Structure 1
Amino acid sequence: MNLLTGKLGEIAARGKADRIVFISDIVSGTLKDFITFWLSEMGSSEHIIYEPFSYEPLRKAHQLVFGMDGIPSYRLDQADFLVSFGAGFLETWLSNVEYARQFAAFRTPHEKGKNPFFFVGPRMSLTAVNSDQWIATAPGDEYLVAAGMLKFLVDAPLIQNIPSKQRDAVKAFTSGLSMEAITGRTGIPEETLRLMALQFSRAERPLALAEGLSFSIPNATETAVAANLLCSVHPGSRKAIDFQNPSIHGTVDSAARMKEISEKMKHGEVDLLLIYNANPVFSLPSSWDFQKSLKRIPFIVSFSSAMDETTESAHLILPAHTPLESWGDYSPRPGITGILQPVMGPVFDSRHVGDILLAAGKKIKGPNRFPTENFYQILRNSWQVQGEKKAPGTPPEGFWQETLQQGGTWEPESREPAISLPVPSKFSPKPSKVPDLGSKDFHFTAFPTIQYYDGRGANRPWLQEMPDPIAQITWGSWVEIHPLKARELGIQKGDIVVIRSPHGSMEVPAFPLSTVPLNTLAVPIGQGHTHYGRFAVAEYGNPMELLPDRIDKTSKGMFRPAFKVTLEKKERHVPVAHTDGSLFQHDRDIARSISIEEYRQGVADQAEPHLYLPLPEGYDPKKDFYPPHDHVDYRWSMVIDLDRCIGCGACVVACYAENNVAIVGRDQILKGREMSWLRIQRYFDPDWGTARFLPMPCMHCDNAPCESVCPVYAPHHGKEGLNNQVYNRCIGTRFCAQNCPYKVRRFNWFTFTRPEPLNWQLNPDVTVRQKGVMEKCSFCVQRIIEAKLRAKDEGRKVRDGEFTTACAQTCPTEAIVFGNLMDPDSRVSRLIKEHRTYQVLEHLNTKPAVFYLKKLTQEPFKS
């Protein structure tokens, strides 16, 4: 601390306080205000809010088309037609958990079927596989698809009475683009574009989204402008775009601003750099030479709680509290503010970043300018002042306590947000031409993953162990290449390849997969750390090494030209740790689907499914050798709606956290020894050109094959239908795993330990298993017991919905429902009567207690 205050005093004495720069990730509320105040007291105003994904093209497009600066909140649940031009809103785009919940509402079946959804982009992402049709393009050609739709909407015209200003803006954008040129460049039939435009025009509230990440694809600004123009020509689209409550992502500084600061560093114009929760050395393109710029700074202070690539260059590290140790507040958009409370004391010798700045401020400027004792007091004072405005008449302390109790404040949103209809700017696109390819050339795209985002999740073992939803790969990076192209080049899974661009190169294992077009390569972002922590994977791949250092003059984001890359196979091979057993179902009908027409007919006929219920009425003396089990009051069961499941894997990570599931690492996964109690099975569907997901926990069968083969009765059928695993009885014969047709039992080959302080996160309600013991999903029996004890104290039975399993609680789309099958009014009892219901491998007569609702499919252009 003395070093920091000494440097601050020295810089102030030289009159160079304007050379102090503070770089942080997104901060809001009290902390942001305090950082601004602290910098002003020190004589600086340079607070750079840095995020690798800053959406400059999206922000510029909103300014050009809607006259609004910022990023709105989108209301997918208000739309009835959706087309996404690369926006992965089910993965990492803006507010993915919120949008996943809205998407589930958007796709809820109604009398006309399901609301249509199209995805346009160079990779079959998690969002793409949840669409009715993935329309594959080369990276940078997405805007051409939108332009084709615009031409049909305006030139045909499919939408009548378009205001002349909007019509002129569209014509300015599409001038010079003939339909022949669009279809010739993209390879998409003209009829497909016409039908997409037709559905867009017939919808009441259509919505077009664009990714807006300039480093990910070329022509991001053109694509975002085209998507916004689609929304501008249809008056109903404005009901799904909420500029009254803009996203906090609109407050992030642009890449141009970051480039300006980087140049100042390079020229010795920064004397003190303070970095908090930001890692630009890793997340910026290598061509920026940001690390070299850092070496020109006399003194760098990092408040990071981990030794990342940027912190490695710091002269002084003052580790700040993690969010679990901190007080604070956060406002993702106007009207919603959450209170951050510490759930534990500091693990190490760290402080709140506000306390560090406060102590430095007191020493430099004295207690008169910084009178509060700590940041917690600053936070309380701030909220007490807010209370005078938000709740006049309420005592300030009372308002603070009430806010603390409910976790924050929020204001109700209007059901149908609307934006005014401004005059769009006549934007003439200047796209980067997608280059023609030679025999060994490829288009290239880099994509953020749901596990690692921009790399900040790479040191979290739960996320490393979680398989990628599409590739099913863990603990490493990879490049996706089309299987036909891989076969042509003699490349097999795990072969090390070198990808070279005009700006750099990288080595990465190949993974042939039909998730990219024939001449496109896709690499995930987030791996390839050189400094971050023991769990971050260093080998193979940070795709930022391939990107240029230029800035787009229009959007002020990174300029990502449409360059081509070359691929060279090396004489090395590494095994790729992935968990999928098969790419396809091979007609086993495990993850089932039903067409909208069949669904409507079933509803009309009031058809009920034929099920092998895990109840006495599910037994047939002609088929069943053993008598049914007697269940007392409860028969716990689960229903999983495959039409709502998006395959995100949140339930898998929640199960790891709740049930102390061991992290085994890459080597054990390569041997097929993963320990996850719940897995998401992904099957590609060649008929539909997409994929199906099926969460697979223990089935808790009433006729469980595992119970009859154990010589020591470790698998035990409880009075409430649970297939319990008695750990003290288990001697590790593994007969139960061999006899389980669902393959959901896991064997502990070792006693897996958790290095301190990770052992602190163990759930004290759940036994930690040892070497030689079999384990599996318990339906979160510890939660069942807790609910029963609470009900017993109150002299009643457990109510439906009073508690649920960790997977059901975490699912953002509410695809999982848990409850008592013996309660005829419970949600599970009602859901299993729907004619979509089925059981996996029901012909084996295991009588599983996990039921599935078939996924609903529809022909994308049926209407």
Structure 2
Amino acid sequence: MAAATALAGAGCSGPPEEAIVPYANMPEGGPGNDPVFYATAVTHAGYALPVLVETHDGRPTKIEGNPRHPMSLGSTDARTQAMLWQLWDPDRSNMVLHGDAVSVWDAAREALLARRAAMADRDGAGLRVLTGNVTSPTLLRQLDALAARYPGMQWHRHDPAYPLAAEEGARRALGRAAQPMYHLEHARVIVTVGADLFIDTPQGVRLAREFAHGRGEARSGARARLYAIEAMPGLTGAMADQRWSMTPAEMGGLVERLAASLGGSATLGQEGGSAEGPAWESGLADLLRGSAGEAVLVVGPALPADVHALAWRINAMLGAVDKLVTPVPVRSPPGLGALVEAAAAGEVQTLLVLDANPVYDAPGKARFEEVLRRVPWSMHVGLYRDETARACTWHVPRAHELESWGDVLAWDGTPTIQQPMIAPLHGGISPHTVLQVLVEGEDTDALTVVRQTWAARWGGDRQAAAGQADAGGNGVGENRAGDERWQAALRTGYIDTDKLGQGTEAHAGQPPSDHGGDRRGGRGGRAAIAATGMGDARATQAEDLPRITVQLLADPYLGAGALANNAWLQELPRPLTRLTWDNAAFMGPETARKLRLDTGDIATLTAVSGGAGVAAPVHILPGHAEGLVTLHLGYGRRQAGSVGTGVGVDAYALQDRDEHGDPLSTVQAIVARAEGHHAYAHVQTEMSMHGRDIVRVEDLNAPAALPAAEPPSLYPKVDYPDYAWAMTIDLDLCIGCNACTVACQAENNIPVVGSEQVRHGRVMHWIRVDVYREAQATLFQPVPCMHCENAPCEAVCPVGATVHDSEGLNAQVYNRCVGTRFCSNNCPYKVRRFNFFDFADHGASAAAHQNPDVTVRQRGVMEKCTYCVQRISRARIQAQKEGRALHDGEVVTACEAACPTQAIVFGDLNDPDSRVSASRASPRAYALLEETNTRPRTRYLARREDTAARLEPDDA
């Protein structure tokens, strides 16, 4: 296939010189005008998020989940969908810089080679490499080769998004560094402590699918039960059969008491550890004990390592280890603290920073910036000229993950291949190429380096692997060792280890050395857990107000701050608060009352230990643990770009570090009220249903009801001879993750409007996820256009811009619309969006990434959900070419494709065997605002509540 080429107006550098990758599904006779999909991966905290990327004429325009990959199963999360914005972000670094002077890669390479020559006589003493979390077998091979060439070299890891406490907890319990991989498809009782299973974790998509599978059991005894203990209300607590609020310190005491109830004896020294817990704890312990072999305990990344170690022991007692939770080995190099100490002592002469930003996100970052400027020579390789790049001697723009070759492990250890969708838009350089300059003295292209890794693993010839790809796109070394496997990996997106006979353990392709890291060995499995002591834990001292514990968490979408310049994520409403373009000091109502604070007030939070502090707006959140403030990281960027700079407050200013220099997730702070008031950009301000059955909740143990009869209507029934499109949304499966919202935005060229317009109620999302709080329950409801049979919007349009088509779609004719907004006023669901301004981005980069099958709307035009009519048309045309009718499941809307729990079903009502027909026949099916007699094509399945699963009394 021809290489991917960008539009000339987008300022692209043209196709890669090597042949581009094979199709995931090759269309008959070539691509024509149809989109082409490629399998690849983006990363989160160093782990693969496997995807298929849709391209039009060589331009990546949409990301979908990879249905073949075990960690995706065809779905995605909001963060993954938004990586497309990052690819096309015009604020990305576009030039090599030496200080503030413009340079070129050749000059940077020569400078790097000069440092390499200077280190040769000293065995690399003074050379340090700083990265985020690394799982790439190729990058790890290069780091090991560098360490072998220069024994004095040190590799350091700094990644605020990486769950470091979970790794250390596994080391204390198992004797080796590992991360827990959960298998919820086999669990009947799931207890989470400070953990949000479905968001801000590389395994969230898989866990959501597995949870939905267990949730789908209709019988009370067979349905998986979920219990959540959390400080900041999250998606897991919202979906739980019962949740309780606790501070992180109290959670440690709970875990200790559960261990004691199950027969354990270790102590943590956590607050509440020696006190008797509430009455429901004994019921929870009894349930865990009675469900041994089918119960699992999940501990969140913000809790200390000792709590994670104790969780391994509890899971061993429950018979869950190696069944419901398995340890995935990881590499554990020294952290940032060791680098700071070495730099302060003058031991660092050359520092290579690969896509990390510690000047912004390191604990005690002021000291790091100080010692960084004392390093004689430093090079930063990253997507942006961020805070760290500006403090380094050299800055080299990095090629985006969708622009370069690579490999990376998924959370379960599956090796996943990354391949370029387009040539680097800004001349970016792959980290593999940069490291190869230090290792071999040559800037070898990334494809060759990656092929060398897998040729060696498959027993192929290294020299054969070093060749260039041929013009036919068959990869290097055609008909040589490993070529067939390589081709298969490109098509599937990952190394199919069952077919290739290779293991998928996380250490695949990773030598044992950690370059100075903790190499403590030990026994693994259940025996190691039972035999290992817990070690000491620092007790959190209770303080009287105005001293308070501040919990620092990664933002649900921006993470630790690397995605702060992503406008799709900035404007995506946070799951339970519906807040956009901001972070806040969240606290419970009682805590706010004691502090005499209200939502929007400004509070100063000053760390007791170091005196650093921030001024943050207050946000009262029902269900939040009392005596605690939660502040999200990832905001307050100084050099993020035109979108993210100056948005929110920098919570890292409060963060403290432990004796190893690793960040702590809680800090003691003094809180005081300051002058001023802050206006939030909420997309939803009323979260009560006021007695209406907007979201219906049914008792799982009650007798099943008969399907509701459709109310009579004076309107004549309309027949649809070909297709009658419809959608159902199962509210029992919707976890409120908002993946559907951003997927729709990417598919349909929906613009962002900014915080000021959001405050005016002018957000443009075509599908929103409403949140309701009713009787201690949190309910989610995605709301797209209902596509009503009796559509109120159609009757009032004076120019016939909103019409009904022959397949039941409520269509919008943009070039007829004159902007009266009568249709919006007459819509009871409020799903129509009006372009008060020309919100669409008409720049060259925006035009390049927009879906060419969807019109870009102008000012003064009404728009809304179309059921992805362009996808319907594409499938219909293909079916007509083949002389057949459309099959069920052949048309998949963007929201349906992204949904990790498969809560959304779309299809043809004329097909009695279709999934949508079956779901609408469910006794749980109902129409929203049915009393208006709009007869919507979009219907809902009621949320189910398992009253038998509740533990009494309810202290939530």
TM-score by length of 1: 0.88
Match of 1:235 in 2: 319
Ranked by relative contact order (alpha carbons within 8 Å, sequence separation 6 or more), the top structure is: 2
SS in structure 2 of the partner of residue 447 of structure 1: strand
C-alpha change, 1:223 and 1:323, in structure 2 (3 Å) is: same
Q: Compute the displacement of 1:698 (Å).
A: 0.3
CA distance in 2, matches of 1:483, 1:48: 42
Match of 1:533 in 2: 641
1:405 paired with 2:491, answer: yes
1:462 paired with 2:533, answer: no
Match of 1:594 in 2: 698
Report 1:496-515 matches (<5 A). Answer: 496-502=602-608, 503=610, 504-515=612-623
Q: Which of 12, 19, 34 is matched with 2:126 structurally? A: 19
CA distance in 2, matches of 1:10, 1:519: 53
CA distance in 2, matches of 1:670, 1:5: 51
Contact 1:124–1:134 at 8 Å: present in 2 too? no
Match of 2:156 in 1: 48
1:448-507 deviation digits (Å, cap 9, x = unpaired): 122111111211111011000011110111111223443454433222211112132111
CA distance in 1, matches of 2:322, 2:894: 37
Match of 1:150 in 2: 259
Q: Compute the displacement of 1:726 (Å).
A: 0.3
Q: Which of 687, 692, 699 is matched with 1:583 structurally? A: 687
Quick one: which amino acid aligns to residue 108 of structure 1?
G
Contact 1:117–1:132 at 8 Å: present in 2 too? yes
Mean Cα deviation higher: 721-730 or 569-578: 569-578
1:850 paired with 2:938, answer: yes
1:747 paired with 2:825, answer: no
Q: Which of 275, 278, 288 is matched with 1:182 structurally? A: 275
Gaps of 5+ in 1: 155-169, 613-617
Match of 2:307 in 1: 223
SS in structure 2 of the partner of residue 380 of structure 1: helix
Contact 1:85–1:227 at 8 Å: present in 2 too? no
1:407-439 deviation digits (Å, cap 9, x = unpaired): 222336999xx9443353453564433333324
Report 1:423-434 matches (<5 A). Answer: 424-425=530-531, 427=533, 430-434=536-540
SS in structure 1 of the partner of residue 256 of structure 2: helix
Q: Compute the displacement of 1:35 (Å).
A: 4.1
SS in structure 1 of the partner of residue 605 of structure 2: strand
Q: Paired residues, what number? A: 803
1:714 paired with 2:820, answer: no
Report 1:636-655 matches (<5 A). Answer: 636-655=725-744
CA distance in 2, matches of 1:86, 1:786: 45
Match of 2:248 in 1: 139
Quick one: which amino acid aligns to residue 312 of structure 1?
R
Match of 1:491 in 2: 597
Match of 1:118 in 2: 227
C-alpha change, 1:549 and 1:489, in structure 2 (3 Å) is: closer
Contact 1:124–1:516 at 8 Å: present in 2 too? yes
Mean Cα deviation higher: 492-501 or 694-703: 492-501
Q: Compute the displacement of 1:444 (Å).
A: 1.7
Q: Compute the displacement of 1:295 (Å).
A: 1.0
Report 1:598-677 matches (<5 A). Answer: 598=702, 601-602=703-704, 607-610=705-708, 612=710, 620=712, 623-624=713-714, 626-677=715-766
Contact 1:36–1:45 at 8 Å: present in 2 too? no
Quick one: which amino acid aligns to residue 103 of structure 1?
F
Match of 2:31 in 1: none
Match of 1:790 in 2: 878
CA distance in 1, matches of 2:700, 2:720: 37
Q: Which of 827, 830, 836 is matched with 2:924 structurally? A: 836
CA distance in 2, matches of 1:829, 1:93: 34
Contact 1:81–1:205 at 8 Å: present in 2 too? no
CA distance in 2, matches of 1:283, 1:274: 17
SS in structure 1 of the partner of residue 382 of structure 2: coil
CA distance in 1, matches of 2:673, 2:649: 15
1:553-608 deviation digits (Å, cap 9, x = unpaired): xxx85456x6532222221112100111312111121112112212xx21xxxx43
Contact 1:715–1:724 at 8 Å: present in 2 too? yes
CA distance in 1, matches of 2:114, 2:156: 22
C-alpha change, 1:108 and 1:630, in structure 2 (3 Å) is: closer
Greater percentage in helix: 1
Report 1:156-171 matches (<5 A). Answer: 170-171=264-265
Match of 1:80 in 2: 188
Report sequence identity in percent. 30
CA distance in 1, matches of 2:185, 2:287: 18
1:258-309 deviation digits (Å, cap 9, x = unpaired): 2011111122211111111111222212366211121111111111121221
Quick one: which amino acid aligns to residue 481 of structure 1?
M
Match of 2:36 in 1: none
C-alpha change, 1:761 and 1:182, in structure 2 (3 Å) is: farther
Cα RMSD of the aligned pairs, angstroms, is 2.9
C-alpha change, 1:103 and 1:550, in structure 2 (3 Å) is: same
Mean Cα deviation higher: 666-675 or 125-134: 125-134
Q: Compute the displacement of 1:134 (Å).
A: 1.7
Q: Compute the displacement of 1:314 (Å).
A: 1.5
CA distance in 2, matches of 1:815, 1:854: 12
Report 1:507-586 matches (<5 A). Answer: 507-551=615-659, 557-559=662-664, 563-586=667-690
Q: Compute the displacement of 1:818 (Å).
A: 0.7
Match of 1:702 in 2: 789
Q: Compute the displacement of 1:539 (Å).
A: 4.3
Quick one: which amino acid aligns to residue 198 of structure 2?
L
Contact 1:473–1:578 at 8 Å: present in 2 too? yes
Quick one: which amino acid aligns to residue 683 of structure 1?
Y
1:813 paired with 2:813, answer: no
SS in structure 2 of the partner of residue 325 of structure 1: coil
Contact 2:188–2:222 at 8 Å: present in 1 too? no
Contact 1:91–1:648 at 8 Å: present in 2 too? yes
Match of 2:35 in 1: none
Quick one: which amino acid aligns to residue 242 of structure 1?
T
Quick one: which amino acid aligns to residue 657 of structure 1?
A
CA distance in 2, matches of 1:174, 1:459: 40
Q: Compute the displacement of 1:201 (Å).
A: 0.7
C-alpha change, 1:790 and 1:177, in structure 2 (3 Å) is: closer
CA distance in 2, matches of 1:639, 1:703: 18
Contact 2:233–2:623 at 8 Å: present in 1 too? yes
Quick one: which amino acid aligns to residue 407 of structure 1?
G
1:756-808 deviation digits (Å, cap 9, x = unpaired): 42332111110000000000000000000000000000101110011300011
CA distance in 2, matches of 1:395, 1:22: 33
CA distance in 1, matches of 2:249, 2:863: 48
Q: Compute the displacement of 1:7 (Å).
A: 5.2
C-alpha change, 1:177 and 1:317, in structure 2 (3 Å) is: closer
CA distance in 2, matches of 1:856, 1:840: 17
Mean Cα deviation higher: 727-736 or 204-213: 204-213
Match of 1:162 in 2: none
Quick one: which amino acid aligns to residue 691 of structure 2?
D
Q: Compute the displacement of 1:206 (Å).
A: 4.2
SS in structure 2 of the partner of residue 323 of structure 1: coil
Q: Which of 403, 406, 416 is matched with 1:325 structurally? A: 403
SS in structure 2 of the partner of residue 804 of structure 1: coil
Quick one: which amino acid aligns to residue 135 of structure 1?
W
Match of 1:2 in 2: 107
Match of 1:108 in 2: 216
C-alpha change, 1:611 and 1:350, in structure 2 (3 Å) is: farther
1:260 paired with 2:342, answer: no
Match of 2:169 in 1: 61
C-alpha change, 1:10 and 1:455, in structure 2 (3 Å) is: closer
Contact 1:4–1:360 at 8 Å: present in 2 too? no
1:729-754 deviation digits (Å, cap 9, x = unpaired): 10000000000000000000111242
